Chains A and B, each alone.
Chain A
Amino acid sequence: AQKVTQAQTEISVVEKEDVTLDCVYETRDTTYYLFWYKQPPSGELVFLIRRNSFDEQNEISGRYSWNFQKSTSSFNFTITASQVVDSAVYFCALTQMIKAAGNKLTFGGGTRVLVKP
């Protein structure tokens, strides 16, 4: 069985502060994908990143960066110099890398980020 844990339910920061969202996962699979999605107040889930279990390189995209550590089963997400528009709920998710498995996503509970001006 797969499980994703986002221990932080809510984080509040002041604009321009950095914020790191933790994601810890459990899986018996040796190959898998990890994802982060953003849910702004409008409600839709916006894809941010997909990372496969073979690639442990950290990734940076603008003010966003991701730290994947297989040894600790973590896939943490950092927003640098946060802005009010970053206020949203962020979800970490996991799926198997086997087509026959169907690739359903297992989600964490989400972390609500509130960036105050």
Chain B
Amino acid sequence: EAGVTQFPSHSVIEKGQTVTLRCDPISGHDNLYWYRRVMGKEIKFLLHFVKESKQDESGMPNNRFLAERTGGTYSTLKVQPAELEDSGVYFCASSLLADLGGETQYFGPGTRLLVL
């Protein structure tokens, strides 16, 4: 069974440009999460999809970040325009939808974003 995949693995862009990150969750996982680790800081939650709906976007830093999950399969995270402080590693995770919640989240390899 394929794990969570993310594309691209690395991205280097200039300040003001747009970047779109993609995440393909494990097949059958309705929960999809985005996290970010900025240099030297903890891994922080960005948002959570249940199927195609945004369940929780409390971690999105500002309106330069836009996440979508059309059709409830893969998800994209767009940063427009990118700023220097957006540099970091963006992780995607997916999990099954269970009654009790707290299902194990399986992570992708991350996208390393560098904004110059």
Contacts and interface: CB of A to CB of B under 8 A. Distances in A.
Interface in B57-89: 59, 89
Nearest to A53: B102
Given A45-B91, A96-B101, A107-B42, A37 B107 contact: yes
A97 B101 contact: yes
B114 to A, nearest CB: 14
Interface in A26-46: 32-33, 35, 37, 42-46
B102 A95 contact: yes
Interface residues of A, number: 29
Interface residues on B, range: 20 to 34
A104 B79 CA distance: 21
A105 interface: yes
Interface in B83-112: 89, 91, 93, 95, 98-110, 112
Give the interface centre of B55, B56, B102, B105 by most chain A CB atoms within 10 Å: B102
Give the interface centre of B42, B55, B59, B112 by most chain A CB atoms within 10 Å: B42
A46 B112 CA distance: 17
Interface of B: 31, 33, 35, 41-45, 48, 55-56, 59, 89, 91, 93, 95, 98-110, 112
Interface of A is mostly: mixed
20 contacts: A43-B109, A43-B112, A45-B91, A45-B93, A47-B107, A52-B102, A95-B101, A95-B102, A98-B101, A103-B95, A103-B102, A103-B103, A104-B48, A105-B33, A105-B43, A105-B45, A105-B93, A106-B45, A108-B42, A109-B41
Give the 6 A-B residue pairs with the shortest CB-CB distance, closest first.
A99-B101, A45-B107, A102-B56, A104-B45, A44-B109, A33-B102
B55 A97 contact: no
Contacts of A103: 31, 48, 95, 101-103, 105
